[in-house]
Amino acid sequence: MRQEVRLGGFGGQGIVLAGYILGKAAALYDGKEAVFMQSYGPEARGGACAAELIIDDEPIDYPMVSNPELLVLMSQEAFSKYGSAAAEGAQLIVDTDLVESATREDWLHDIPATRIAEELGNRMVANVIMLGFLCATTGVVSREALEESIRTTVRPGLAELNLKALARGFEYVSAGAKV
């Protein structure tokens, strides 16, 4: 089943890394087909940033994301750019710590990912918390595939923290988050 995914935020949040981890989980550890593209502004940090993926059980014949069903937005700018243009029925996940004007409650999932990351001691893992939440709410890839992708992607000294962050994203759903 074809799934189009768009992750958006600002440079420095690890949006591109999150997209890479998700695509690698799908293609290498879940046995799916995946295409990954990234875009970012010329700024090193703070500029607009997006990662787009297509994940499918079949070979992917057209690699461009045209109508994403899954959107993960980690900044107000990303919400303004992508959230308001999302098609009806799209599953939209926002970081409530950084997106203030989220509307359309019928298709909105939210999680305070940045706050949870700060509780873990490093706000830089908010992206991985969002991946856990995304996969717990949608099943786009398996938890095991994400865990292995993290283990083989991030520096060894950061793997344990990122695995804890992933678990927190899954736990947030289990704890009765609005999904």
Cα gap 118→129, rounded to integer Å: 11
Q: How far, rounded to the nearest angstrom, does the alpha carbon of residue 70 sit from its chain's CA centroid?
A: 9
d(CA 3, CA 32): 11
Q: According to the model, what pLDDT value does residue 177 have?
A: 57
Edge-to-edge strands, sheet with 91-95: 33-40, 48-56, 3-10, 70-73, 91-95, 108-111
39 CB-side CA count, 13 A: 10
Beta bridge partners of 40: 49
Domains assigned to the chain: 3-174 (3.40.920.10)
pLDDT by residue, tens only, the chain of 179 residues = 899 999 999 988 999 999 999 999 999 999 999 999 998 766 556 677 999 999 999 999 999 998 899 999 999 988 888 876 677 788 999 998 888 766 655 457 889 999 999 999 999 999 999 999 999 999 999 999 999 999 999 998 999 999 999 999 999 998 765 54
The burial of 20, by beta-carbon neighbours within 10 Å (0-12 exposed, 13-18 middle, 19 or more buried), is given as middle
